[in-house]
Chain A
Amino acid sequence: MKLTMTAAPHLRSGNSVRSIMLDVLIALTPAAIWAVVTFGIKALVLILVCTAGAEALDFFIIRFLRNKKSFRPDLSGSVTGLLLALNLSLAVEWWQALIGVFVSIAIAKAVFGGLGKNFFNPALVGRVFLLISFPVQMTSWFSPFDLQTSATPMAILKEGSSRIFSLQEMFLGTIPGSLGEISALLLLLGFGWLLLRRRVSPVIPVAYIGTVALMAAIFNGVNPAFGSPLYHILGGGLMLGALFMATDMVTSPMSIKGHLIFGVGCGVITMVIRFFGGYPEGVSFAILVMNAFVPLIDMVSKPKIFGKVKSNA
């Protein structure tokens, strides 16, 4: 009998960073499969290049540049890579995607200190970098199956067009858009998995989507050209953003109250951009801007310490 001395508690929950990341990957799988089904083999190539590339780069940086010899892949790179891929247009080439991966992992994540230390959602930083670097490819959208260039529902709202998508098309995912954003149904399905596994709290998505709906209802009431609440919820990147990007643990606040503030902030900025900005879509920017506010939000949303009297503090 060889005894070891360890610190209490001697029981630990089954949670691990790796199991959380794996659950996020599983949750994104339906949307990824739908991307391949609707957009074909090139979508598969982009998804694989981004996911594998991000995990490999993350491993390389930690194992060799930071010289952590015992490091085993934690799947956090894959999550970033997959999210980036799902944010891309089919028009993006694989080498352009790899540049996005590099920006996500090496710059947005590693430079800040690696997993847990980054302020901004790495996948969104990569996406925005690509949007600025390759504006043509990043804003050319294809419609599913027939792969004709086509305006997204959000662009239609901005620029006007004859083609109007039905809510059913938007919900099921037979609309043009980025690889992973088009099917609200499959994204919700994946998010359900995360809820089931108790990996996330629903507060951020509910606050985010709720704010979008409320603002859309108000503006739409004043002028129908602003689009209906459901159109705003289903027509763009909101589902993907609210369910999977804004809920990124590392770059979101750490209390329920903080989640609420964060979600509402994301919603307001998204709608301001959609209504008044130069881009048809504002989800990425909204989340990135709110990422910057997380330390502040954390500071004002601390839970109340049991037994602490405010006046004494």
Chain B
Amino acid sequence: MKLPTFRGGVHPPERKELAKDVALRILPLPEKVYVFLANHAGVPAKPVVGPGERVKTGQLIAQSNGFISANLHSPLTGEVKEIGKYYHPTLSKPDDAIVIERTSEDDWELLGPETSFEKLSPGEITERIKQAGIVGLGGAMFPTSVKLSPPKDKKIDLLVINGAECEPYLTIDYRYMLERANGVVRGTLAIMKALGVQRAVIGIEDNKPQAVAKMSEAVKGTGIEVRKLITKYPQGAEKQLIFALEKRVVPSGGLPLDVGVVVDNVGTAYAVYEAVEKGRPLIERGITVTGEGVKSPANFVVRIGTMAQELIAFAGGSDEETSKVIFGGPMMGMTVPKIDVPVVKGTSGITLMKDTLPEEEFPCIRCGNCTFVCPMGLQPFLLNLYGSARQYDIAVENGLMDCIECGSCSYICPARIELVKNFKLHKKIYRSLKGGAKK
């Protein structure tokens, strides 16, 4: 049978073999962590601790500061040194971070006693997820509790757990599915209960047969479905994923909940399990450290706020010829100018690439490849034409705001035009012209 997929997309080199067979390793506790107040999408959290204060592992250090915001907890037991400016990997500029220096091994302050989700009401589960500061670990860092509290008029009937991991190089979701399958399933069941849905589907690309097998085993008796998907980038983009699995089309400008679906990443499901059943707030996550630039690529379980430098050191150090350090994978990740940059809740990987010089850009030769690969059915060359001419309104009429920034167009373009880079800029300008969101 033909596996489900979506229209368009590209096949970049996967390079998963670098790290896919390296088992998860829980790293020794770092001496210092740098926890950004902006560790999630939306409003930065408000600090509730100050310099000199002693904190326990898991203690609340900054509070959610709005509807779209999230709590922050101390990743270490130690002392708050300062709240200072450090380079933020996704904002790409210095931003406020709470710096905590470790004084001892973990002395936990849990959200509550160990329990099982069956004993909690849907409202209690959602509240626990909110307290735990859980955000989308796939990279978007959108507060999970907000997704679990849909407006009254939206009827949710399906939970999709995203195990596609379509981003090349990254293998952390894969390792979680292999090694922490039961936790992922418990988390999935907890989210199902919170949402009040009867169905959940875990979508996994067919380049991860072991993960498919392992998850299929783990879901036995739960009613959760595990479905294989064609390996194609960006299979894990939520609109594409929902279409591939269910043939539901998220309307332009809409969210998955408009078609009755909530999508959460595999890692997020695991974090939900830890919060709900173990009482642990989100203070650590899995990160793949990989790429041609690291000596021994690996998958680590890391405290939030650890410096990338330390992770790279645990992966055997970096090659002298490394020219790019990417937070995330090579398709959507962002480069950082130095390696002493702390990881955030959305950091799924650190990819070190040895790269050739930037390619020369040619004029568009109208080959149409960008149009053929765009998973959103856009005409990137046309958007670029209008956007570059500052005709933002016309670009938006042609779907600029529908762009999911997957980068397939830039990947395929023979003229090496920086299409998606331009679109991100054009979208930002358009939003600010309309007096909309900041960021």
Contacts and interface: CB of A to CB of B under 8 A. Distances in A.
Interface of A: 1-13, 15-17, 19-20, 70, 72, 74, 76, 114-117, 249-256, 302-309, 312
A15 B416 CA distance: 9
B63 interface: no
Contacts of B12: 9, 11, 13
Contacts of B322: 1, 3
Contacts of A7: 410, 418, 420-421, 424
Contact of A308 (B252, B353, B407): B252
A20 to B, nearest CB: 6
Given A7-B418, A11-B168, A2 B411 contact: no
Contact of A305 (B318, B331, B376, B415): B376
A15 B323 CA distance: 22
27 contacts: A1-B320, A3-B337, A4-B324, A4-B335, A5-B335, A5-B336, A7-B424, A8-B330, A8-B334, A8-B407, A9-B330, A11-B330, A12-B359, A12-B413, A13-B413, A15-B412, A15-B413, A116-B362, A253-B368, A256-B372, A303-B378, A304-B377, A305-B378, A306-B7, A307-B239, A307-B252, A307-B253
A249 B239 contact: no
Interface of B is mostly: loop
B420 A306 contact: no
User: A-B pairs with the 10 shortest C-beta distances?
Assistant: A7-B421, A9-B407, A15-B414, A254-B368, A116-B363, A10-B330, A307-B252, A17-B362, A308-B252, A305-B399
B366 A3 contact: no
B262 to A, nearest CB: 17
Nearest to B362: A17
A20 B243 CA distance: 33
Interface residue tally on B, bucketed by range: 35 or more
Given A8-B331, A255-B371, A307-B249, 14 more contacts: A3-B339, A4-B324, A8-B334, A8-B407, A72-B360, A115-B363, A250-B365, A251-B366, A254-B381, A303-B377, A304-B377, A307-B251, A307-B254, A308-B252
A309 B416 contact: no
A202 to B, nearest CB: 14
Nearest to A114: B363
Contacts, number: 165
B429 interface: no
Contacts of B420: 7-9
A254 B335 contact: no
Given A303-B379, A309-B252, A13 B7 contact: no
Contacts of B335: 3-6, 10
B366 A116 contact: yes
Contacts of A70: 360
A10 B353 contact: yes
Nearest to B333: A8
A3 B369 contact: no
Interface string B370-398: 01101111110100000000000000001
Contacts of B7: 306
A2 B322 CA distance: 7
B292 to A, nearest CB: 12
B13 A11 contact: yes
Contacts of B378: 303, 305
B326 interface: yes
Contacts of A76: 365
Contact of B376 (A72, A116, A306): A306
Interface in B291-321: 318-320
A70 B415 CA distance: 15
Contacts of A305: 252, 376-378, 399, 402
A117 B362 CA distance: 12
Contact of B365 (A17, A253, A306): A17
A1 B424 CA distance: 29
A255 B7 CA distance: 14
A28 B325 CA distance: 43
Interface string B199-214: 0000000000000000
Contacts of B323: 2-4
B337 A19 contact: no
B146 interface: no
A19 B363 contact: no
Contacts of A4: 323-324, 335, 355, 358
B347 to A, nearest CB: 15
A3 B375 CA distance: 31
B371 A254 contact: yes
Residue of B353, B367, B379 contacting most chain A CB atoms (<10 Å): B367
Contacts of A13: 10, 12, 411-414
A309 B377 CA distance: 13
Contact of A10 (B249, B318, B331): B331
A3 B324 contact: yes
B168 A306 contact: no
Contacts of B254: 307
Nearest to A5: B335
A249 B407 CA distance: 22
A20 B367 contact: yes
Contacts of A308: 251-252, 377, 399, 402
A256 B373 CA distance: 12
A12 B416 contact: yes
B429 to A, nearest CB: 16
